[in-house]
A and B are shown apart, each in its own frame.
Chain A
Amino acid sequence: MELKATLSKKFKDFTLEADIAVRADRCGVFGPSGSGKSTLMNLLAGLQRPDHGRIELAGRVLFDAAARIDLPPEERRIGVVFQHSHLFPHLNVRKNLFYGWQRTRASERWLDPESLIQVLDLGHLLTRGVASLSGGERQRVALARTVLSCPRLILMDEPLTGLDEALKYQIIPYLKKVFSEFDIPLLFISHSMQEMRLLTEEVLVFERGRVRESLPAEALARQQLGTGSRGYANLITLRDPRPQGDLWSYRWGGLEFIATDSGNSGDNLFELGAKDITLFKRHPEATSARNLIACRVESLFGEGNRVGVELSCPGGRLVSQIVPDSVRQLELREGTGVTAVIKASALRRLY
């Protein structure tokens, strides 16, 4: 994707002045509500008109105030997935899905609808009315409807915000699958750090109508370690659960991980809070925690009264969050060997 946009729009109590240049295929727009994220989406899609500026997508000028170019939404080929799916209530699922497809020139239809319907697991819903769909099904249909219009860029405006946690993590794998199998650039708007890390590579941080900075999602998450109320969470992929008593043992690289949650036979994504990883200088002989991992300090980062310790373990990297006093007491620096102690119940399975 190559999206370049310089936009300004004045509202009564708020001004948007955005200057963005996106190269990543999956880019996030992150910021608190009211920071102008949705306005940005409307301006890019042609649903609102900027006062000044220029929008260029993959070499094509969509808007240029100076040159009086303003393509209507239907000619921009930018697909939008709204927060509330907004499926057409008078059409059934199939007709909703193909609404955009039918309005796309044959020469521009580059994907196979059947395979998309299969990836999103919609086959059994096609003849249903949209009112009978569950929240998760609605969002999957909305996504498929947008993808089927074969856009050059998809904007998603907090598509997971209205859903509860469990549903959200049911949909994320679908989203990942669609965006990896069908090579479509994505601009993903959200105020959820977790969604950013799971779905995007690069993140534009919005603040009061301006882009504050642009950085990888992982870097943003670490930056929030000091300020965010929830702190930093490790996202780790564990494989092949085996029952072990009333717990489950997973493979993580060459290591075993004990967790309380059961999972699927393939990859399972777990969340592990950085503050749930306790560091010991030496191996504690007995502890109630089930996971004791010998690792090495890779780096220290953070600010204020919280320090992030990046650990290199045999299975991968982990980040532990401790306080500066502990760093001094344990004499932690790059290369120090420590034992990370993690309770089985601290691992929370996402999907």
Chain B
Amino acid sequence: MSLLSPQDLQAIWLSAKVACAATLFSAPFGFAAAYLLVFVRLPGKAVLEGLINLPLVLPPVVVGYLLLLLFGQQGGVGPLLDNLGIRVVFTLTGAVIASAVVGFPLLVRALRIGMEGIDHHYLQASRTLGARWWDTLFTIILPLSSPALFAGMTLMFARSLGEFGATIILAGNIPGVTQTIPLAIYDYTNTPGGDRMALSLCLVSIVLSFVVLLASEAANRSFKRRVA
């Protein structure tokens, strides 16, 4: 008898899909948000910063509920997306959105620290050498903050793998559709005799997280070598 049931394998596959999609989808927005916070003089920057960081301190269940209100049939965005044929509630898209919102502050935080470490003289040098602001953004700021971008994406990926509270409210816990690893574990713990199955999924979770950490460390070291 194999350690993992087909349903478990599906949960692992769904988890990977959700975490990848949420991370890749958020990366450009996270980069833009960090750029705004670090390099652009904005009125009400503190408010923007607060909004971005809010999901970090709010209980994920609250985030999930607010998202449900927003994307539900009575919400502001739900009917609009419905017209376009996009359903969010109780779908994989919902799981991705929940993960993206919850992980976003981690991504922005890491990027911000990286960008704040960039000497402004590099940007000034680039501008006086004839680069427009977007040219400087892509040829100086992006490469110099790429280790931070990668660190942020890793953090966010790991966070998405473990996302539970917001996901279960917005996307539900439907095996094969929205049931990711944490949700499957939750199911097993509620089933008599499910302990062994829960444990094997826990093992998978640990291994996955560990692999992500190792990959991140290795990549970070190679980035540093390249820049130094």
Contact = CB atoms under 8 A, between A and B. Distances in A.
Interface of A: 45-47, 72-74, 76-80, 82, 84, 86, 88-90, 99-100, 103-104, 131, 145-146, 149
A138 B89 CA distance: 57
Contact of B127 (A47, A89, A104, A131): A47
16 contacts: A47-B124, A47-B127, A74-B129, A78-B128, A79-B129, A80-B124, A80-B128, A82-B125, A84-B121, A86-B119, A88-B140, A89-B144, A89-B228, A90-B226, A99-B139, A146-B129
A86 B119 CA distance: 9
Contacts of A79: 128-129
Given A84-B121, A131-B227, 15 more contacts: A45-B124, A47-B124, A72-B132, A74-B127, A76-B128, A77-B130, A80-B124, A82-B124, A89-B122, A89-B144, A89-B228, A90-B144, A90-B227, A99-B139, A100-B130
B128 to A, nearest CB: 4
A186 to B, nearest CB: 15
- Specify the main secondary structure of chain B where it touches its partner: helix
A146 B129 CA distance: 7
A286 B67 CA distance: 100
Interface of B: 119, 121-122, 124-133, 135, 139-140, 143-144, 226-228
A90 B144 CA distance: 7
Closest 5 CB pairs of A and B: A100-B129, A103-B130, A73-B127, A86-B121, A80-B128
Contact of A86 (B125, B132, B144, B226): B125
A142 to B, nearest CB: 8
A73 B135 contact: no
Contact of B143 (A74, A77, A90): A90
Contacts of A46: 127-128
B227 to A, nearest CB: 6
A99 B129 contact: yes
Contacts of A89: 122, 144, 227-228
B140 A74 contact: no
A347 B223 CA distance: 51
Contact of A104 (B130, B139, B143): B130
Contacts of B131: 74, 99, 103
Contacts of B126: 88, 99
Contact of A45 (B128, B135, B144, B227): B128
A82 B129 contact: no
Given A89-B227, A90-B144, A74 B124 contact: no
